[in-house]
């Protein structure tokens, strides 16, 4: 990350790939693909969603029926559109975020009167960003910059379409609740959409960190969403300790309760988001992006789908192995036990020679005498 130069939020036009903002410079990412910051669980959940029976039919139908023009007119008529004349500081943050993440077109942004802190990116043809007055009043400048980067990341990833459908279907589910089968069909899709929605928030949190490039501010904003504007009474490190305690606490009953608690939510819990973001923000993956090593948008079409599947599977396996959650530890133990059982069965039918020993010859060990084969390790 570049050092502070005390400059103002003005792009200096040099070819360093950096941009002047209050107090320091931020690195810019020309041509960055959303694959650079998308959480593997986000991609996996989206694949599962698209495979859900009936989803394609519903998606195509709603894409033509949703009153998007009405939605845009609603915000235009009953919210304040951000510009260089209205909420100019938010307008500058939005322009900065789009410039840093190299979004070709700056989406319209509105401030909506609502004391509940919230922000969203919706729209089918073109994304619209909406932030509430509660959020604007809650966050400081750097925290707000991360939130606007978060919503810009949703726009770059193309999340707005599915988020709009979720909002519509959630409303529809309440209207058809009296029709048992109809309600069940809608709720199945809503549940799958919510699962993806929660994972997409982890991706957007990463985009917000790339836009703001201040990990403490990003986590501070999440802490404020949980505890309000009493920053002098809170501590980020103590807040992150809650996340560790939440993950490790209890027994299998608590693991089930965690699942039940999160099912009706559209967002992951704030402590979980903060812990996930800290993990990524201190990783080598994040550092490589900051150094300019990231997938480009013009390479997206050439990227095989199988690669995303492998990355997602590897990430899930790693999460299960490292998780302190009792249920995840049980899954890991059962998987390990299954592996041991498989080894015993294999040894039974191979005379105890399932793995090459130090005296095995080339026929027994693909790696040659004394060298481990592909199964070793």
Catalytic site residues? 151
Closest listed residue to residue 298, CA positions, set 28, 32, 40, 17: 32
Asked if 240 contacts 278 with a C-beta cutoff of 8 angstroms, the reply is: yes
197: left (phi over 0), alpha (psi -120 to 50) or beta: alpha
Length of the chain: 377
Alpha carbons within 13 A on the beta-carbon side of 113: 6
Closest listed residue to residue 166, CA positions, set 207, 128, 114, 121: 121
Alpha carbons within 13 A on the beta-carbon side of 217: 19
Asked if 99 contacts 156 with a C-beta cutoff of 8 angstroms, the reply is: no
CB atoms within 10 A of CB 198: 21
Helical axes 160-175 vs 55-65, angle rounded to 10°: 90
Q: Which residues pair with 119 in a beta bridge?
A: 131
Q: How far is CA 242 from CA 14, 248, 271, 312, in A?
A: 43, 10, 7, 26
Closest listed residue to residue 197, CA positions, set 163, 168, 173, 171: 163
Give the C-alpha separation, 105 to 127, whole Å.
Answer: 10
Q: Which residues pair with 18 in a beta bridge?
A: 27
Give the C-alpha separation, 340 to 348, whole Å.
Answer: 12
In 204-301, which ranges are E strands? Answer: none
CB atoms within 10 A of CB 290: 16
Tokens standing for 177?
């609740």
Helical axes 180-212 vs 160-175, angle rounded to 10°: 150
CA atoms 30, 35, 36, 37: torsion sign: positive
């Amino acid at each position: 990350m570049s050092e502070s130069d005390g400059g103002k939020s003005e792009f200096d036009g040099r070819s360093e790939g950096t941009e002047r903002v209050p107090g320091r410079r931020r690195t810019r990412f020309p041509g960055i693909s959303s694959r650079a910051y998308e959480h593997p669980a986000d991609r996996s959940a989206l694949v599962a969603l698209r495979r859900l029976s009936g989803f394609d039919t519903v998606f195509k139908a709603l894409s033509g029926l949703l009153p998007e023009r009405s939605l845009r007119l609603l915000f235009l008529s009953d919210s304040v559109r951000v510009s260089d004349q209205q909420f100019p500081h938010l307008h500058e943050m939005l322009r900065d975020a789009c410039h840093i993440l190299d979004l070709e077109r700056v989406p319209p942004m509105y401030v909506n009167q609502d004391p509940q802190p919230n922000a969203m990116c919706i729209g089918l043809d073109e994304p619209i960003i909406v932030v509430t007055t509660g959020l604007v009043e809650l966050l400081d400048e750097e925290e707000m910059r991360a939130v606007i980067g978060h919503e810009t990341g949703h726009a770059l990833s193309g999340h707005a379409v599915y988020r709009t459908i979720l909002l519509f279907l959630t409303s529809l589910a309440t209207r058809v609740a009296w029709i048992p089968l109809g309600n069940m069909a809608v709720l199945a899709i809503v549940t799958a959409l919510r699962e993806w929605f929660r994972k997409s928030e982890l991706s957007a949190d990463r985009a917000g960190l790339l836009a703001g490039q201040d990990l403490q501010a990003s986590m501070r904003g999440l802490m404020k969403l949980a505890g309000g504007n009493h920053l002098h009474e809170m501590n980020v490190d103590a807040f992150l300790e809650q996340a560790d305690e939440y993950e490790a606490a209890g027994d299998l009953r608590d693991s089930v309760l965690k699942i039940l608690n999160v099912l009706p939510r559209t967002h992951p819990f704030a402590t979980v988001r903060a812990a996930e973001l800290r993990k990524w923000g201190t990783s080598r993956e994040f550092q490589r992006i900051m150094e300019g090593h990231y997938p480009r948008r013009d390479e997206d079409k050439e990227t095989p789908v199988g690669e995303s599947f492998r990355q997602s599977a590897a990430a899930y396996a790693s999460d299960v192995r490292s998780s302190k959650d009792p249920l995840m530890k049980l899954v890991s133990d059962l998987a390990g036990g299954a592996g041991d059982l498989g080894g015993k069965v294999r040894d039974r039918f191979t005379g105890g020679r399932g793995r090459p020993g130090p005296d095995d010859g080339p026929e027994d060990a693909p790696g040659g005498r004394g060298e481990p084969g592909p199964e070793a390790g």
